[in-house]
Chains A and B, each alone.
Chain A
Amino acid sequence: MARKKKEGSGLNIPDAPFRPGEEAIFETWSWKPGDLERPDPTKCTAEDTVPHAQGLVRVLGDNDKASGAWNPKLNADELREGLEHMVRLRIFDDRMMKMQRTGKLSFYMRSFGEECVAIAQTMALETQDWIFPSYRQPGAQFVRGRDMVSMICHCLGNVEDNIKGRQMPVHYSYRDGRFISISSPVGTQFSQAVGVAMASQYKKLDEVTITWIGDGASAEGDYHYALNFASIFKAPVILNVVNNQWAISTHANFATASGEFATRGLPYGLASIRVDGNDFLALYAVTKWARERAASGSGATHIEVLTYRAGAHSSSDDPSRYRSSDEHTKWPGGDPIERLRDHLIEIGEWSAKRQSGLEDRIDSEVMSAYKEAVKYGDLANGPYPEADTIFTEVYEEMPWHLKEQFDEVMEG
C-alpha cells in the first residue's frame, strides 16, 4: 500500500516542554522542607524510600530558612566553606570560558547552575572516599584541595598539565584527591565506580565511592549495569543521576518516558531518593545519609539530583537553538549559590558586602592562578608537552613497536 502523504507517522516522538521563543512555565514544586522523614540509613529498605524517590528532599525553604528532618545542621563556617567553593567554581568557569573564546584553550565546560552538586556531595564524604566524576563535577577538586594552577594547566594543555595534553580540557585526573580520571564517553564511570566500591568492600576498607551520570547518559547500558551490580553485590557506592533536564540538545524526555529518574532505582532494590540539587543543605544531607548507609554495609543509594543546566553543554554548544532562553531563570530550584548565600544572610552569618568581598577575592585568586598557569604555555602559543608524551604510559613499559615509532618522532 502506498504511504500516505500526510504529516507525521505512527511514530511517537517526544518533545521538550519549551522551545525557542516559547515562555518556560515550570510547575511549582509541591514538596516542602519537612515533608519527608529521614529513615535510618543503616536499617531501611528500598521500599521504605518509595516516598523519597517519588517526592523531593528539600531543606532550604522559599523563606531561606532550613528546616525538616533532613536539615544537616551545619555550622556557619561549614556553610561559608560550601558557598566559597561554589563561588570559586563559578568564577573559575567564567574565566576559563573567556580564555576559551580567545583560543587559549580548545574547549570548555562550565558547571553553571550545578555548582552545588559535586561540592555539597564531596563535602559530605570522608577524605578516603573515591570520587568518580563525569565532566560536570570538577568542583569536587576544590573540596579535596587541588591547586587551581594545576587545574588550569590541565585545561591549557601546557607543559605542566599532569595528564600531558592527552585529553581535552576539563578531563581532570587528581590522584592525591582520589578523584578518578574523567572520560569522554558518557556513563562509563557509573558502572566502573561500582567496581571501585567492590574493591573497597573486598579489602574491608572504610571507603565509599561516589559517582554521577547525566539524565541523558542514564539511557546507556552502563547505567543499568551499575544499578544491577551495585544491588546484587551490595556495593558501597553512591549512584547519582544528575537530572539537569538537558543532554546537549536532547531533553530528559528522550531519556525516560516516565519523567522520573529516582524511582528507577527501586525495582533494583536500591534505596532511592530525589533531592533538590540546588539546595546545598538537602544535597549534603542526602549524601551523608547515603554514605552512612554504604559504610554500614547496607548497600548503595540511587539519588536523583534534580537541577537545571543553566549554561550551554560546552563551549561548542548554543542552547538558544533548541530551548527557551528564560528556562534557567524560571527553574523552580533557583540558583544554588544565591540560595545558600540568602540562607546565610537569613541566619545572620553573611551579608551582601561580605559576598561581594568574597567574589572580589576569588576573582583575584583565579586571575593570579591563571597568570601563573599560562606561564607554562597555552593552546594558542605553546609550549606544548613534548611529543614523547604520545608514546609514554600507553603501557607500563614501552614495547618495541611503539619504541620504533617513538624513535621515528624523536629523530624527526
Chain B
Amino acid sequence: MANMNMIQSLNNALDIMLERDDDVIVYGEDVGYFGGVFRTTDGLQAKHGAHRVFDSPLSEGGILATAFGMGINGLRPVVEIQFADYIFPAYDQIVNELAKIRHRSGGEYWSPVTVRTPAGGGIRGGHHHSQSPESQFTHTPGLKVVYCSTPYNAKGLLISAVECNDPVIFFEPKRCYRGPFYGDPHNVLTWEGHPEAEVPESHYTVPLGEARLVMEGGECTVIAWGAMVHVSEQAIRDSGVSCDLIDLQTLVPWDRDTVVNSIEKTGRCVIVHEAPKTSGFGAEMAASVQERCFYHLESPIQRVTGWDAPFPHTTEWDYMPGPTRIAAAIRKTQEG
C-alpha cells in the first residue's frame, strides 16, 4: 500500500499495464517526453521507451483513428484526449467507428481502445476546460463509459478498462487529481491520509459495471459520479439526512442491483452530476429508477446538475452543483 493521489494511481495503472502487456501503447498530446499536462504519464516514456509512450500530433481525430486501426491490428492503445472538451474532433471516429466495429463486422474485427480524458470543472477552466460530456457517449451503444472519483478506483477501473476488449471512454475528474473536492473551492485538500488514497502498488481491478457504496443510510439514496461524489458526501453531512451515497463509477453498464436495492430501502432519490440537466445521464437514471422502483418511491426524484448553459469561467461556483443545492434537494425528498 502507498498513499497516492489520482495522478499517481493512474500513472501506476499505466505503468503496470505497459509492463504486463507488450500490446499496450500509450499516446496523446504532450503525453510522451513531457509526461502529460497533468503529469499523468510522467516517467513512462523514460521507463518503457518512446515506442510505447509517445507524443502525438495535435489531432484528436487522428489520435482516435490511428488507435482504432492499431486496435484492429492487435494492439491495445490507451490514448489521452487532453481535455474532454477537445474530444469532439474525434467524435465521429468514436461514435461511428470505434463503437460499431465489432458489431458491424459480424465480430470479425474489434478494437480495444481506452480513451482517457480529464473532465469536469472546478479549476477555473471556463467553457472549454470544464465540461463533462459523459452523456454524449452513454448514448452510443458499443462504448463502455467510466467515471472515476478516487485514487483507488481510478487505478482499478483504468486497469479494467485497458484489459477490456470493448472500447472504453474513461473520464477523470480533474478537480480531484490532487485531492478530494467537497465543494468549497477555497479549501484545497490533498489525498494525504484519505482512505481512498491508500492504493496497492500491485495489479488489481475495480470491475466495470459495479458501483461503490460510499456511505450507508436509510432515508435517501444519492447517486453521483466523478467529483460530485465528494461534494455529495459533504452535502449529506450538511443535510442531516441519513443517506446511501452511490458512486456509480461505470455509467455504461451501470450497476442496477446496487441502485435498485438502495432505493427500495430508502424510497427517495437524488441524482447529482456536473453536466447540464437536459439529456444528462441523470435523466437516464431518473427514468430507470422510476421504471424499476416506482412503487417504492415516497417522493419525486430530484436532479441537481450543472445548468443548461455553457460552463462559465469566473462564476463556476454558481454553475457547479455545490453542497447547499444538493443538501436542499436531499431535504426536499424528505417532505410529504
- A residues lining the B interface (CB < 8 Å): 130, 132, 161-164, 166-167, 171, 173-175, 180-181, 183-185, 188, 191-200, 202-203, 209, 221-222, 225-226, 228-229, 232, 392-396, 399-402
Contacts and interface: CB of A to CB of B under 8 A. Distances in A.
Interface of B: 25, 51, 57, 59, 61-62, 65-75, 77, 89, 92-93, 96-97, 100-110, 141-142, 144, 164-166, 209, 252-254, 256
B68 A202 contact: no
B264 to A, nearest CB: 17
A191 B106 contact: no
15 contacts: A161-B106, A162-B108, A163-B108, A166-B104, A175-B105, A175-B109, A181-B104, A184-B96, A185-B96, A195-B68, A198-B66, A199-B70, A226-B65, A229-B62, A400-B256
A191 B61 contact: yes
Contacts of A196: 69-70, 72-73
Nearest to B66: A195
B69 A173 contact: no
Given A192-B97, A198-B69, A221-B61, 15 more contacts: A162-B106, A163-B106, A183-B100, A188-B92, A191-B69, A194-B65, A195-B72, A196-B69, A196-B73, A198-B66, A199-B69, A200-B73, A225-B65, A394-B102, A400-B253
Contact of A193 (B69, B101, B165): B69
Contacts of A188: 65, 92-93, 96-97
A402 B140 CA distance: 12
Given A228-B59, A396-B110, A171 B65 contact: no
B21 to A, nearest CB: 13
Contacts of A174: 108
A185 to B, nearest CB: 5
Contacts of A198: 66, 69-70
B74 A180 contact: no
Q: Name the residue among A183, A194, A196, A395 with the largest chain B CB count within 10 angstroms.
A: A395
Contact of B142 (A181, A221, A225, A394): A394
Contacts of B51: 202
B69 A195 contact: yes
B66 A180 contact: no
Contacts of A395: 102, 142, 144, 166
B72 A173 contact: no
Nearest to A201: B51
Residue among B61, B77, B101, B104 with max Cβ neighbours from chain A (10 Å): B104
A229 B66 contact: yes
Nearest to A181: B105
Contacts of B109: 173, 175, 180-181
B59 A229 contact: yes
Nearest to A200: B73
A174 B107 CA distance: 11
A209 B74 CA distance: 14
A393 B107 contact: yes
A376 to B, nearest CB: 15
Q: Which of B97, B103, B141 has the most CB of A within 10 A?
A: B103
Given A130-B73, A202-B75, A395-B102, A173 B108 contact: yes
Contacts of A197: 69
Q: 10 smallest A-B Cβ distances: which pairs? A: A195-B69, A195-B66, A225-B62, A191-B65, A199-B73, A399-B253, A181-B105, A163-B106, A196-B69, A175-B108
A195 B73 contact: yes
A176 to B, nearest CB: 9
A193 B57 CA distance: 17
A394 B69 CA distance: 18
Given A130-B73, A188-B65, A228-B59, A399 B105 contact: no
B89 A221 contact: yes
A192 B72 CA distance: 9
Nearest to B65: A191
A144 to B, nearest CB: 14
Contacts of A193: 69
A16 B319 CA distance: 52
Contacts of B166: 395-396
A201 to B, nearest CB: 9
Contact of A194 (B66, B100, B144): B66
Given A173-B106, A181-B105, A228-B59, A399 B66 contact: no
Scoring A130, A167, A174, A198 by chain B CB atoms within 10 A of each residue's CB, the highest score goes to: A198
A166 B66 contact: no
Nearest to B56: A229
Contacts of B103: 166, 392-394
Contacts of B101: 181
B72 A225 contact: no
B25 A225 contact: no
Contacts of A164: 106
Contacts of A195: 65-73, 77
B295 to A, nearest CB: 19
Contact of A202 (B70, B72, B92, B96): B70
Contacts of A184: 96
A225 B25 CA distance: 19
Given A195-B67, A195-B70, A196-B70, A183 B102 contact: no
A46 to B, nearest CB: 18
A170 B102 CA distance: 17
Contacts of B72: 180, 192, 195-196, 199
Contacts of A402: 141, 253
A101 B309 CA distance: 50
Nearest to B77: A195
B49 to A, nearest CB: 11
A167 B101 CA distance: 11
Contacts of A221: 61, 89
Given A199-B73, A225-B59, A181 B108 contact: yes
Contacts of B253: 399-402
Contacts of B66: 191-192, 194-195, 198, 225, 229
B57 A232 contact: yes
A188 to B, nearest CB: 5
Contact of B57 (A130, A166, A228): A228
Contacts of B254: 401
A183 B25 CA distance: 25
B106 A396 contact: no
Contacts of A202: 25, 51, 70, 75
Contact of A222 (B61, B73, B102): B61
Contacts of B164: 396
Contacts of A185: 92, 96-97
